[in-house]
Structure 1
Amino acid sequence: MATTLPAPIEFSLPDGWLSAPPDEVGAPQAAFVALHPASAAGFTANITISGEVRADDATLAHLAEQAAARLRRDVGAVEVGRRNELESAYTQVLRLTAPVGGRPVELVQLQVFLAMADVRDEHRRAVLEIVLSATPAQFEDLVDDFQAFLKTVRPDEGASR
């Protein structure tokens, strides 16, 4: 069953991306999934959003390391590429081979971890994990879309609390 996000957010999908029910596309750990149908030759590039409320002092770098370790446990070898730490975000690029439709497919993931403080409790924060998954060729074509998407992600100030 699809999860919910720990904080309400709003965003805009770039042209060519369509939202999909997480359970129906095999991503029950995600709260949101967007697919890029035009890239579906063997693998459909996708963006997933998941998140959790954290009351500990784990750094975003540590959470990124945990995400890479989960992938290693689930699919095997994961190569960690460029990492970048910003004020309230952390990014990492991963290369892995995952089984897709019964065959191994080489994938690239750009994982972005965003922290949003809880305005009512300074000891808690929401951490969002936003991921672009694509083949290497798709990644080159779609990384600009993903970066444009990330610029639109923001707290939903109008959401009821």
Structure 2
Amino acid sequence: MSKLPVPVEFRLPEGWEPVRPEEWGVDNAAFMAVRRDAPGDYVPILSISGDWRLDYITLETIADESVELARAQADEVELLDRKEIGSEEAPAILQLLGVTATIDGRGWELRQGQVLSGLVDVKDPSRRVVVIYTVTCAAEQFDVVGREFQAFMSTVKPVAPDGSHSSPESS
């Protein structure tokens, strides 16, 4: 399991349970949760990953990289929606992907919601952390799971090294 370069605090929506990413074949997530009791056969997955970015590429370019990574792992990926959110100090992009994938020999129509969040180091603006929050579910589950992901995202807060809540400007 990887570790986030900045700690975050959050509250999982009801029905979601933390799991060890490596037990699900995921090696790049710092955190992962599943919703086993979701309607349908697909088990929705929520994950958090992130790292320092020392390059000067835009958050939109990083979002494009994320789409390309999804394309490398699926049969077909379509960018359905993308919005810039956040502030100058803590920019973020929300994007929704339509994914066709074959998992264990079965074809799936999936939706993947991603929030890519940038936190700039105020002491050295060339350094920033990009954290990616991702939820993946079957297309027919997205009405419910998408709302739960929004509720989850509303609870996410960076935590300062001393354990206090921090604003993006002090991260």
User: Is TM > 0.5 for Structure 1 vs Structure 2?
Assistant: yes
Distance (Å, rounded) in 2 between the aligned partners of 1:4 and 1:40: 31
Deviation string 1:36-93 (CA, Å, 9 cap, x unpaired) is 1112742100111000101112111111111111111222321111110123110111
Q: Which moved more, 1:32-41 or 1:137-146?
A: 32-41
* Rounded Cα–Cα distance in structure 2 between residues aligned with 1:85 and 1:92: 9
Q: Secondary structure at the match of 1:44?
A: coil
Q: Report the equivalent of 2:57.
A: 58
Q: 2:2 aligns to what?
A: 3
- Partner in structure 2 of residue 123 of structure 1: 126
TM-score, with length taken from structure 2: 0.87
SS in 2 for 1:70: helix
2:12 is paired with a residue whose SS is coil
- Counterpart secondary structure, 1:53: strand
TM-score, L = length of structure 1 = 0.92
C-alpha contact (below 8 Å) 2:83/2:94 kept by paired residues: yes
Look up the equivalent residue of 1:106 and give its one-letter code. Answer: E
Stretches of structure 1 that go unaligned for 5 or more consecutive residues are none
Secondary structure at the counterpart of residue 121 of structure 1: coil
Partner in structure 1 of residue 12 of structure 2: 13
Cα distance in 1 for residues equivalent to 2:105 and 2:30: 25
What is the one-letter code of the residue matched to 1:89?
A
Equivalence for 2:79: 80
Distance 2:92 2:105 in 1: 35
Q: What is the CA–CA distance in structure 2 between the aligned matches of 1:76 and 1:58, rounded to whole Å? A: 27
Structure-1 separation of matches of 2:73 and 2:61: 18
SS at match of 2:68: helix
Match of 1:144 in 2: 147
1:129-160 CA-to-partner distances (Å, cap 9, x unmatched) read 10110001111111111101101111112449
> 2:115 is matched by which residue type in structure 1?
V
- Aligned pair partner of 1:99 in 94, 98, 102: 102
Secondary structure of the residue aligned to 2:154 is helix
Give the RMSD, CA atoms, in angstroms.
1.7
Aligned amino acid, residue 90 of structure 1: I
Distance 1:40 1:30, change over 3 A: farther
Confirm or deny: 8 A CA contact 2:114 2:134 kept in the other structure: yes
Q: % of aligned pairs identical? A: 36
Moved over 4 A (4+): none
Does structure 2 retain, via aligned residues, the 8 Å contact 1:6–1:51?
yes
